[in-house]
Amino acid sequence: MLRFSRTAGRAALPLLVLHDDAEREFAYTAGAEEALAWTKQHGTIVSVKRDWSAVFPS
């Protein structure tokens, strides 16, 4: 899906929501290594743990 969003001729935002906060939900990052590596080079990673308060301010 991330690679598809980078297809030429399309306006897109390759965005990966990283579920890495066990306090808010189950932190599941195992198995996502390839997607994380690709997104670090070509897209944007939003961390639930780090960015939650920016997306959902109190």
- 10-49 tens-digit pLDDT: 788 889 999 888 887 777 777 888 889 999 998 899 998 8
Our measurement of the distance from residue 37's CA atom to the centroid of its chain's CA atoms, rounded to an integer in Å, reads 11
Residue 51 has pLDDT above 80, yes or no: yes
Q: Torsion angle of alpha carbons 18, 23, 24, 28, nearest 10°?
A: 40
d(CA 26, CA 11): 32
Q: What is the pLDDT of residue 40?
A: 92
Global pTM value: 0.73
φ/ψ of 15, rounded to 5, equals: -125, 135
